[in-house]
Amino acid sequence: MHVSEMKNKYSHLLMYFVVFIPAIVYFAKVSPNAVNVPSLDDFGAILEFLSRYKTTHGIDRFWLLFSQHNEHRIFTSRVIYVTYYSLFGTINFRHIVFLGNFELVLIYVLLLSFAKKIIPRYFFIAALVAGISLFDLCNWENANFAMACVQNYGIFLWLILSLFFYSKPGKGFMYLGLLFQVLCIFSSGNGVVAAGVIALFNVLSLNKTKSVLSIAGLVLFAPMYFIHYTAPSTGHPATDIVKIAVFFFNMLGADIIFEHSAAGVVAGIIKLSLFLLAIPLGKKILERKDAQPVLCIALFVIASIGVTAVFRCNVAGVPPNSSRYMIYPHMLTTLIFILLAARFQDRKLLIPVAIAFTIAVSFAYKINFRWGSDNLAGLHNSMISNEFNFPDKEAARRITNDACRLDIYCIDKFRQLPAAPLK
């Protein structure tokens, strides 16, 4: 191997190491705070579900996987919980947290595979922007809350996998794309939105067979989501347009302006304007097939934020900058940069845009780092205390007692650990 080839090889290895630094820091912060103790929805979505699953038999077990959790159907999350329990005979919340966060790593890698095809010249800067954005510690709630990370990261993973397989030639890949499209529908409340975006992607690709298949998948399976569906007390849409818009734009720009304010609205408007600027116009949207997966993921993000605004803006204690939702504005920032780079990569304007994006996400990351670290430690401490980290303490006690009696999980083995220091 020539010296120049060796230098090129090692420079590429160094570049890949640099872009994964945010992920390394992220896991270094998550690891000491992740404990084998449930928190919030973990009690109902995991422990209570597994207790019901263990005491249910026959075909009823299968249908139980599709039953509602609040306003969601979380089939794919439950398959993960049941698979883990079947393999190990217990449930370990620390391990589930790492499985959920591994989904985020896969999301990152798949996004980079899209970006490398679209903007090979600017791949490194796109990878850096994506890493800083997606592994921001203001995602602390997803990072250390088993049910939240598996569901919130999972819906993105199934969406991206479906687009990934649909974009490849061959019937085998096409049917894998359909499989993940259907899984999207039963993964979260916005899974139907994801399935619709996947169908749109195939329509844009001008592939008749894939278009018909994905539309059929949407039309056949989306209505099933609502069979025996019961809207919860918080599941009613708001009608105040101004309130919805304020929530929408604040959530859209929450990764840059982390507060519910007029400045947050301005940040959201700027991001939406940049997205509209980045969209290929007219026939170009059909010509840039390499950019279509990224465009469709961005449309999913914006539509999901819109749905969240309609159904959450009136719910007390659910602000637009809620940590468990931060994956959406972070993802959009990443996608906007990739789309802008794809549209303007042959113009000098891209250089200052790339610099501005890198500075903006780095500044936000720095601001959020201390806040996210403290909240990770705070969540850790609330989980290991003698008080259940759940609004209804009696319900939490009943759920954990049932799980222990059924040899699924005993909480008293894992609480009263040393408290994590706030740093």
DSSP string for residues in 346-409: TSTTHHHHHHHHHHHHHHHHHHHHHHHHHHHHHHHHHHHSSS-SSS-HHHHHHHHHHHHHTTS-
Residue indicated by tokens 């501005």: 356
Q: Which residues contact 259 (CB under 8 A, 6 or more apart)?
A: 321
Point out the least confidently predicted range of 18-27, 47-56, 375-384: 375-384
pLDDT (tens digit per residue) in 39-49: 888 998 899 99
Say if residue 98's pLDDT is above 90: yes
Q: What is the mean pLDDT of residues 5-33?
A: 77
pLDDT (tens digit per residue) in 296-328: 999 999 999 999 888 888 776 677 778 888 899
Say if residue 70's pLDDT is above 80: no
**Rounded-to-integer distance, Cα 199 and Cα 353, Å:** 32
Q: What is the DSSP letter of 418?
A: P
Give the number of residues written for the chain.
Answer: 423
Which of left, alpha, beta for 416 (phi over 0: left; psi -120 to 50: alpha)? left
DSSP 337-349: HHHHHHHHTTSTT
Q: If DSSP codes are grouped into helix, strand and coil, which group holds residue 414?
A: coil
Look at the pTM and tell me if it is higher than 0.85.
Answer: yes
- pLDDT, greater one: 189 or 111: 111
Q: What is the mean pLDDT of residues 180-209?
A: 92
**Rounded-to-integer distance, Cα 221 and Cα 122, Å:** 39
Sort 164 into a burial class: Cβ within 10 Å, 0-12 / 13-18 / 19+.
middle
- Confidence (pLDDT) at 313: 80
Q: What is the DSSP letter of 46?
A: I
Tokens encoding 157 = 């993973």
- Confidence (pLDDT) at 422: 40
Question: Closest Cα to residue 411, out of 66, 50, 47?
Answer: 47
Question: Closest Cα to residue 72, out of 165, 140, 154, 157?
Answer: 154
- Confidence (pLDDT) at 260: 66
- pLDDT, greater one: 358 or 51: 51
- Confidence (pLDDT) at 419: 39
Adjacent-strand bridge partners of 68: 73
Mean pLDDT of the chain: 85
Say what percent of the chain tops pLDDT 90.
Answer: 35
- Confidence (pLDDT) at 279: 83
Do residues 274 and 348 touch, judged by C-beta distance below 8 A?
no
> For 355, how many CA atoms within 13 A lie in the half-sphere containing its CB?
4
